Amino acid sequence: MTHVRRAGAVVGIVVLLAGCRVDARFDITTRDDGSGTLRVTITVDADAVQQLGGSTGLAQTVPLDDLRTVGWTISPWTRATRGSQTITLSHPFVDQGDLVRRVVDLTGPRGVLQNPTVTRERGWFSSRDAVSVVVDVRSPSVDIVHDAPLAARLRAAGFDPALLERQLAAQLKSALHVSVVVHLPGGHTESYDAVPGSIKALRVVHGGTDWDRVSRFVIGLMLALLAAAFLLAASVGARRNRRRSAQRTGREELSDRAVPM
């Protein structure tokens, strides 16, 4: 497992492009059944593109094979505005636990996104969907110290892992710019641009009383009541007609008996 995978793909890219600006937009899209898609769009500035030799250099230098191996769909690097380059990584998730794993792929176990949750509530006349995630850009970390094999290799090469981690953390703090966009069922979307050095427990909620469903229920109930009333009226009318017919038959029989022979 490469160091970029352990630290998270996004943080790994920023490390490679230390001193350059990297914008990371995370899109979390959920569906009615709690599944969805996690997508991150990474944009690096023109200085980074030039530093690494254009889109070809970016493709060769930025290691993303680990993500492809675990099912991520990764676009080619493409030219954006003012000489910048952008790449998109996406992966479906089946439930909340799977979303947690996908977030760790991108940002690491203690990265800029943490503890994502997906909430679904369904009732007869109401529904509520929510996504929560902690966006922590106080001090993005590559987590070198806790990566024992990497730390050992760095010490063997004469580097202090703790000092290197602090230096990289300072570069990450100024280079990485994060935004999160949450898309809930029903077309509800909210976005958040993280303030450098901040932490926020982001929660996006959508739902409530489904008045269309209430209206359909009321209309259905009224139609059912009307149908029952018609059936009751028809039944009463039929019984009344049978009684009248029986009474006429009885009178006719009495009249026949009263005729003299």
Listed in sequence order, the residues at least 6 apart from 182 whose beta carbon sits closer than 8 Å to its beta carbon are 27, 28, 29, 30, 131, 189, 190, 191, 202, 204
The span from the CA of 20 to the CA of 61, in Å, is 15
Condensed to tens digits (0 to 9), the pLDDT of residues 144-199 reads: 555 566 567 657 767 676 776 666 666 667 778 899 999 999 899 999 999 988 99
Kindly state the DSSP code that residue 81 receives in the 8-state scheme: G
Whether the predicted pLDDT of 56 surpasses 80: no
Whether the predicted pLDDT of 95 surpasses 90: yes
The span from the CA of 78 to the CA of 51, in Å, is 16
Give the model's pLDDT for residue 5. Answer: 42
State what percent of residues in the chain have pLDDT above 70. Answer: 69
Query: What is the token pair recorded at 39?
Result: 């997508």
Condensed to tens digits (0 to 9), the pLDDT of residues 109-137 reads: 778 899 999 999 876 766 889 999 999 98
Whether the predicted pLDDT of 205 surpasses 50: yes
Sign of the torsion angle spanned by Cα atoms 222, 223, 224, 226? positive
Phi/psi of residue 195, nearest 5 degrees: -85, 125
pLDDT band with cut points at 50, 70 and 90 for residue 226 = confident
**Can you tell me the mean pLDDT for 55-67?**
74
Give the model's pLDDT for residue 115. Answer: 95
Find out whether 180 and 192 touch, Cβ atoms under 8 Å: yes
Which neighbouring-strand residues pair with 92?
37
pTM score > 0.85 for this model? Answer: no
Determine the Cα angle at 250 with ends 244 and 254, to 5°. 145
**177 sits in which H/E element:** strand 176-184
